[in-house]
Amino acid sequence: MAKEFWNRQVRTITSLVLLMSAMTAAQAQLAYPSKPLRMIAPSSPGGPVDLIARAVGQGLGDAIGQQVVIENRAGAAGLIGAELVAKAAPDGYTLLFGFSGPLAIVPNLNDATPYNPLTDFAPVSMVAAADYILLAHPSVPAKTVKELVALAKTRPGRMHFASGGNGTGIHMAGELFKHLAGVQIVHVPYKGAAPAMVALMAGEVDMMFNAVPPTFPHINAGKVRALAVGGARRSALLPQVPTIRESGYEFEMTGWYGVLAPKGTSQAVVAKLNADLIRALRAPEMKERFRKLEVDEIGTTPEEFLKHLRAENARWAKVIQAAGLKQSKP
């Protein structure tokens, strides 16, 4: 009799503890966010990822009423920053500002990538897309894509293109261009798009792909020459610059960006982040920031973002295999 009594007491206490834990968790979710968020931008300061991340972070901070601190963690085409988030506590306070490098390209280049982009993150929303642009140093005697290709064919292996690192989108844009044009141009990786841009302006390399936003002032100043836009349409900022497709090559590449949380983040937190991000993207202030950066606003559901990640991984796996770019380690 006494044993049954104590068993009932234990069951009652256990039920109360579980109920209180559930209530505490629910209250924590309802109170989210109660402190500043950290958004990891896996890039160097001043590059397209950094610029767009800061615009999005400011808009999200306005929407949630908490500061969103952008933390740059450059290296390994975004792998270092992405791994940090993949291993972070899934409480909604550490987010990844992701892009094609660490989420679709590097994992297909390197079997040793320490995370799975499709299973180790909780996608929140895609937020933006920006066209790439092909740039050359002013000393390069080519003012069009056709002239650049003709020049490269007379200098096989003696021309160089910069990128923000092995496996970045702008690296792969260069590799795809080489493949389509049938030219031998040597890749020179830097630790981020911003250092690569500095190298191009200094004449250390002949050309590179980059996003339009951080390059526009340098194009206007004559420090680099814009040869062609990599997207499907001409840039509103540079309407005189043709697309690569107009130059006769079936080339189309656009940088895309999105926000992700670590795997295991509660659906309630992901749903709130998604709603707040969409609200931020629709705000007039954000639209104006994106207009100045010439970035297209994109808002998706978490499910749509995951579908996009799957499609991009499948796409780059085929490109990397066809180009023979597989690497043994990051």
**Which CATH number fits the domain that encloses residue 205?**
3.40.190.10
How is 244-269 classified by DSSP, letter by letter? TGGGT-----EEEEEEEEETT--HHH
14 is a domain residue: no
CB 256 within 8 A of CB 170: no
2 is a domain residue: no
* pLDDT tens digits, one per residue of 150-187: 999 999 999 999 998 888 889 999 998 998 999 999 99
Is 269 found in the same domain as 191?
no
Burial (CB count <10 Å: 0-12, 13-18, 19+), residue 112: exposed
Domain stops at, among 221, 247, 273:
247
Is 145 found in the same domain as 240?
yes
Is 242 found in the same domain as 181?
yes
Burial (CB count <10 Å: 0-12, 13-18, 19+), residue 267: exposed
What's the domain count of the chain?
A: 2
The mean pLDDT value for 46-64 works out to: 93
Is 173 found in the same domain as 119?
no
27 is a domain residue: no
List all residues 6 or more positions away from 237 whose beta carbon is below 8 Å from its beta carbon: 212, 216, 294
Bridge pairing between strands 37-41 and 94-99: parallel
Is 111 found in the same domain as 180?
no
296 is a domain residue: yes
Is 65 found in the same domain as 50?
yes
Domain stops at, among 191, 219, 247:
247
Is 237 found in the same domain as 177?
yes
Per-residue pLDDT at 275: 97
Residue in this structure with the two tokens 């798009």, named with its chain if needed: 193
Q: Is 327 helix (H, G, I), strand (E, B) or coil?
A: strand
Cα 185 to Cα 204: distance, rounded to the nearest angstrom: 14
* pLDDT tens digits, one per residue of 107-132: 999 889 999 999 999 999 999 998 89
* pLDDT tens digits, one per residue of 245-290: 999 999 988 889 999 999 999 999 999 999 999 999 999 999 999 9
List all residues 6 or more positions away from 191 whose beta carbon is below 8 Å from its beta carbon: 44, 74, 75, 164, 165
* pLDDT tens digits, one per residue of 180-234: 999 999 999 998 888 999 999 999 999 999 988 789 899 999 999 999 999 888 9
CA angle, corner 176, sides to 174 and 181, nearest 5? Answer: 95
17 is a domain residue: no
Q: Half-sphere exposure (CA, 13 Å, Cβ side) for 126?
A: 23
Residue 18 has pLDDT above 70, yes or no: no
Phi, psi of 200 (to 5 degrees): -65, -45
315 is a domain residue: yes
Is 116 found in the same domain as 147?
no
215 is a domain residue: yes
List all residues 6 or more positions away from 287 whose beta carbon is below 8 Å from its beta carbon: 297
Residues in the chain: 330
**Amino acid (1-letter code) at residue 82:** A
Q: Is 159 helix (H, G, I), strand (E, B) or coil?
A: strand
Q: Give the bridge partners for 126, in sequence order.
A: 258
CA angle, corner 173, sides to 169 and 179, nearest 5? Answer: 140
Is 197 found in the same domain as 283?
no
Q: Half-sphere exposure (CA, 13 Å, Cβ side) for 189?
A: 13
CATH code, domain with 66: 3.40.190.150
Is 184 found in the same domain as 86?
no
Cα 288 to Cα 3: distance, rounded to the nearest angstrom: 70
Is 243 found in the same domain as 158?
yes
Per-residue pLDDT at 27: 46
Per-residue pLDDT at 8: 61
156 is a domain residue: yes
Is 207 found in the same domain as 144?
yes
CA dist list (Å): 41 to 133, 148, 243: 21, 33, 29
State the residue range of the domain holding 176: 136-247
Domain stops at, among 247, 265, 288:
247
